[in-house]
Structure 1
Amino acid sequence: MTRKSQPQIQPPLSRRGGVVWLGWKLVIAFSVALCLLALLRIQLQYNSVTTLSSPLSVARSQTPLHKYSGDRPKLAFLFLARRDLPLDFMWERFFKGVDHANFSIYIHSLPGFVFNEDTTRSQLFYNRQLNNSIKVVWGESSMIAAERLLLASALEDHSNQRFVLLSDRCAPLYDFGYIYRYLISSPRSFVDSFLHTKETRYSVKMSPVIPEDKWRKGSQWIALIRSHAEVIVNDGIVFPVFKEFCKRCPPLGTNEAWLFLKQKRRNCIPDEHYVQTLLTMQGLESEMERRTVTYTVWNVSGTKYEAKSWHPVTFTLENSGPEEIKEIKVQSFCSED
């Protein structure tokens, strides 16, 4: 009697299909995980770039480029003030009789400070303060942030074609007509800018955004053509680097100062480097007169002036008589090219 061979037991079709489907689910899940990981990595890289290029200053507004077609270009006087303008009476005389169509006034002061009959002796400055001003600390990026706010406000008026940055302690040496003709007739900006390697204000951490060979230094007090003002306001690359790596050193002897030195951070004095470096990186050095039209005295060795550390000489009644003013006028427009 022949025994029938036992039939091999085969898994039911549904079970085989389940095993295959489980394998596909694992493949799909693994693929999705890889995609999510890749997307997460891209997002992290994007956030890193955005940290450097995002508009960290409220000044940046992507100001559109405008060509001026009018016949009455204005000078925009941009006052960077601690609070009020102690020399407002001199500026009142400077602007006396001048057609208001030839100039504009903008003031960055303390947030909330208002120029009115109680705070200034000149009606020219009434309500000329910026409503979006910020707290400014010397030696920090807030200084250049305030400058950018002034430029952004002045750029809203298309008639403004030259932009002069001034301290609240600045005083005019010439009359309005002379200054107007001098600045309007020049197709270049007046930006004191030079290569300076003696100080260690540049940090290698600024590269590759700011190459060391593009690092420049110069006076804070600039007079710009409109296209250069637009470059500064629309900058979203260089300003964040200054904000990140240019910090004010805390007082020596404090824990913050120790940490500051340990991290090898530095106070690079942004207002002496930002505009100069940015315009150099943009290839605009050929469009600049590399000197300032604001006269200051820094080197006081062998002179009668007294200077405070980190700041230029303050002129007083004792050292700014007629002869001194005459000498300053001769020196103020002499430069070494």
Structure 2
Amino acid sequence: LGVTASLYLQSFSFNLQATVLSPFSLSPPSLLPEPPSPPPPTTTTTTLLPNGSFAFLEKLFLIHNMDDDELFWRASMVPRIQEFPYERIPKVAFMFLTKGPIPLAPLWEKFFRGHEGLYSIYFHPHPLYNVPLPEDSVFHGRRIPSKPVEWGKPSMIDAERRLLANALLDFSNERFVLLSETCIPLFNFTTIHSYLIDSNESFVASYDDPRKIGRGRYNRQMWPTINISDWRKGSQWFEVNRKLAIEIVSDSKYYPIFREYCHPPCYTDEHYIPTLVNILSPEQNSNRSISWVDWSKSGPHPGRFNRQAVTVEFLNQIRVGTNCTYNGNATSVCFLFARKFLPNTLQPLLQFSSSLFYFNP
């Protein structure tokens, strides 16, 4: 075939020639100072498809020794040849930004079951979190090198960009959704995958809030790079396509301004990506979030839900109780995920997973 595919990372390299099919040679990566010892890497294999292209069936060990600058640089690379040398099946990257464990993991396990090859998972906990995951878990081996995150500080955006960058290294990832340990899916995998892959737009809430908690957070020292007319606010929990994900991790013009001038009561996670999207490509954004939260109570954080709140009526109100636009058409399916569900909601959610969410049994 005369095709050679190669990929180099600072800590390892491998080469594959179409004329000789052999397992990848993987050297053990250097660990960061703080993260715990990772599980042993699994073997990467290749399969020659009938059309002669290669499908990389890999569950690569994600701990590497790249710093953020190198990671973002590698993730920002875009192939100049548009056609892929293999059959590319677009995947959704599910990026979990957590303090530690994912208490609702059994629900997510059931959500992902049977859909291998259509998704990727990336897990960014606190670097001191050191609880091993079962080898048969979909989260096993999906932890990325992480750093401490402080609420409302630029480190939150650093973590989000870190998740995006790691996910961008997989060229099959086409859509990227940010989730937390309190998030739940509101529909089955097939519905959510189709909704995202088929969408013409990204899902980033980005609006002009004239109040003190909106425009009042703008710092005049951001001018002229960022004007008050550019300033936007929105939910931290975004979903973006690959093109916009690359723009976020490769941004070296606007993010330094935010790091220098956006500090509490200015919160980067509420303003940076909404403002960046408004500057770069507002016409390609739906201007809404697909992650539902309850802001009916006053305070800096949305409402939380325990097991008593989990009823069919409550969940259906979130699932189909709102009107919005999808690809130019009216729909009642506006939210794909919901947030702030406590660990004790797991059992009732599992009970509803087949009858209400239509998960695979």
TM-score relative to the length of structure 1:
0.70
SS of 1:165's equivalent in the other structure is: strand
1:60 is the counterpart of 2:81: no
* 1:42-83 deviation per Cα after TM superposition (whole angstroms, max 9, x unaligned): xxxxxxxxxxxxx98675316112457444100000001011
Mapping of residues 152-301 of structure 1, within 5 Å: 152-199=165-212, 200-248=216-264, 267-282=265-280, 284-300=281-297
Partner Cα separation in structure 2 for residue 139 and residue 169 of structure 1: 18
Contact 1:89/1:121, CA 8 A, preserved across alignment: no
Correspondence for 1:331: 321
Partner Cα separation in structure 2 for residue 129 and residue 225 of structure 1: 22
With over 3 angstroms needed to count, the CA separation of the structure-2 counterparts of 1:278 and 1:211, relative to structure 1, is same
Partner Cα separation in structure 2 for residue 334 and residue 320 of structure 1: 24
Contact 1:58/1:149, CA 8 A, preserved across alignment: no
State the one-letter code of the partner of 1:268.
C
1:127 is the counterpart of 2:125: no
> Residue 123 of structure 1: CA displacement?
1.0
Partner Cα separation in structure 2 for residue 122 and residue 77 of structure 1: 18
Partner Cα separation in structure 2 for residue 115 and residue 126 of structure 1: 11
Contact 1:293/1:332, CA 8 A, preserved across alignment: no
Moved more, 122-131 or 75-84: 122-131
1:111 is the counterpart of 2:127: yes
Correspondence for 2:307: 317
Contact 2:92/2:175, CA 8 A, preserved across alignment: yes
Aligned pairs, number: 253
Contact 1:92/1:122, CA 8 A, preserved across alignment: no
Alignment RMSD: 2.3
With over 3 angstroms needed to count, the CA separation of the structure-2 counterparts of 1:292 and 1:229, relative to structure 1, is same
The partner residue of 2:113 within 96, 99, 102 is 96
State the one-letter code of the partner of 1:60.
F
**4+ residue segments displaced more than 6 Å:** 55-58
State the one-letter code of the partner of 1:113.
Y
Partner Cα separation in structure 1 for residue 250 and residue 119 of structure 2: 23
With over 3 angstroms needed to count, the CA separation of the structure-2 counterparts of 1:58 and 1:208, relative to structure 1, is farther
With over 3 angstroms needed to count, the CA separation of the structure-2 counterparts of 1:319 and 1:227, relative to structure 1, is same
With over 3 angstroms needed to count, the CA separation of the structure-2 counterparts of 1:220 and 1:59, relative to structure 1, is farther
Moved more, 268-277 or 225-234: 268-277
With over 3 angstroms needed to count, the CA separation of the structure-2 counterparts of 1:316 and 1:68, relative to structure 1, is farther
Partner Cα separation in structure 1 for residue 235 and residue 262 of structure 2: 17
With over 3 angstroms needed to count, the CA separation of the structure-2 counterparts of 1:332 and 1:145, relative to structure 1, is farther
- Compare the two structures and name the one with the higher helix fraction: 1
State the one-letter code of the partner of 2:175.
R
- Compare the two structures and name the one with the higher strand fraction: 2
With over 3 angstroms needed to count, the CA separation of the structure-2 counterparts of 1:71 and 1:178, relative to structure 1, is same
> Residue 171 of structure 1: CA displacement?
0.5
The partner residue of 2:93 within 34, 55, 76 is 76
1:149 is the counterpart of 2:139: no
Partner Cα separation in structure 1 for residue 96 and residue 294 of structure 2: 20
> Residue 121 of structure 1: CA displacement?
9.3
Partner Cα separation in structure 2 for residue 109 and residue 187 of structure 1: 31
Partner Cα separation in structure 1 for residue 120 and residue 224 of structure 2: 38
State the one-letter code of the partner of 1:243.
R
Contact 1:141/1:271, CA 8 A, preserved across alignment: yes
Q: Higher relative contact order by CA 8 Å / sep ≥ 6: 1 or 2?
A: 1
* 1:254-282 deviation per Cα after TM superposition (whole angstroms, max 9, x unaligned): xxxxxxxxxxxxx2111111111112222
With over 3 angstroms needed to count, the CA separation of the structure-2 counterparts of 1:56 and 1:111, relative to structure 1, is closer
* 1:296-328 deviation per Cα after TM superposition (whole angstroms, max 9, x unaligned): 11124xxxxxx6x21111122122211100111
Partner Cα separation in structure 1 for residue 279 and residue 173 of structure 2: 25
With over 3 angstroms needed to count, the CA separation of the structure-2 counterparts of 1:114 and 1:75, relative to structure 1, is farther
Partner Cα separation in structure 2 for residue 232 and residue 161 of structure 1: 14
Partner Cα separation in structure 2 for residue 91 and residue 230 of structure 1: 27
State the one-letter code of the partner of 1:187.
N
Partner Cα separation in structure 1 for residue 173 and residue 217 of structure 2: 34
TM-score relative to the length of structure 2:
0.66
> Residue 134 of structure 1: CA displacement?
1.1
Contact 2:68/2:162, CA 8 A, preserved across alignment: no
Correspondence for 2:20: none
Contact 1:165/1:221, CA 8 A, preserved across alignment: yes
